[in-house]
Amino acid sequence: MTDSPENSTADNGNIDLSVIVVTRVDQAQLDRCLEALTKQETTASFEVIIPADESLGDVNAMIMRYRCWEFVRTHGTQTHAQLRSLGVHHARGRLVATTEDHCLPEANWVQAIVDEHANAPVAIGGVVEKVPPDDALNWAVYFHDYLRYMPPAEAGETHELSALNASYKMSALREVAGSWQREFHEADVHGALEAHGGTLWLSPNIMVKQRRNLEIEHALWERYAFGRLFASTRTGTAAPGRCLLYAALSPIQPVLLLARLGGHIRRKQHHRMEFFMALPATLLLATAWAFGEFMGYVTRKPDPRLEPQPDPEPWPDP
């Protein structure tokens, strides 16, 4: 059911780490990510699984180039969460790590994950650094999504990890399999792990560097869609009156978000010039998110393009 060339790093059943790389559309980004994974300095055995839907196009040349990795190709267009779930279903390691194609893992990334998991936490996340230089829009996207994971960071217990740089004990994921069977949303999975008594941990020793090449139209849609997804999910647990209150407060969200981001920058004393350069774009993206939240509270539904598609089926072997 998958394109599975012989794995050169480990034998079946004896894999330390399965790395899930979620990708869509951009083969050049994926190529940079996979190239970084081929240069890992580690004694650990690991595999790389790339769940890719039809939006990525013809990946046959890439499959031939990275013969030691496993491409799971699916029909149709799937959400990131569906692709991540599909990847975890195919994982064979005792540990599972998730990242995305716009990330470059540091050379010691695999080894750091394996070493950190020698301790107790069931889930460990790392930091997400930005690759400079970049334009104001993509800095704004970084500040919106990953500022809380920006270095410097202190090691310690946390309640949030980024899917760009998170890892899990497979035994713990199996205990909460109902939270990721169809879609692997990190917030749902992390909540289920904590409900089972697990601990989430942040380690500054595990780093990926991030760079995306978003255009303004896609960036605005993404902020709107994820804001709407957040709100529509929230309506499932909140009383109707509270949802109306949240909707009424949506217009002040951009100001609150900017204040929160500014507080992070002040505490971390990192990328301050870039933050001020990106302020107009950051405010614009925050406004798109706020409008998405408002629509999510009103409609109680996510944007149709983020709704789960039918269960993805891997393409048959050629």
| Domain extent listing, the chain | 17-210, 216-304
∠ CA 269-165-15, nearest 5°, is 145
CATH class of the region 17-210: alpha beta
Which of the four pLDDT bands, split at 50, 70 and 90, describes residue 13? low
pLDDT tens digits, one per residue of 109-160: 999 999 999 988 999 999 999 988 889 999 999 999 999 999 999 999 999 9
* Alpha carbon separation from 90 to 2, 74, 113 (Å, rounded): 9, 13, 19
Which of the four pLDDT bands, split at 50, 70 and 90, describes residue 16? very high
> pTM for the full model?
0.89
∠ CA 107-206-164, nearest 5°, is 95
First-to-last C-alpha distance (Å) of the chain: 9
* Alpha carbon separation from 206 to 193, 255, 308 (Å, rounded): 21, 32, 31
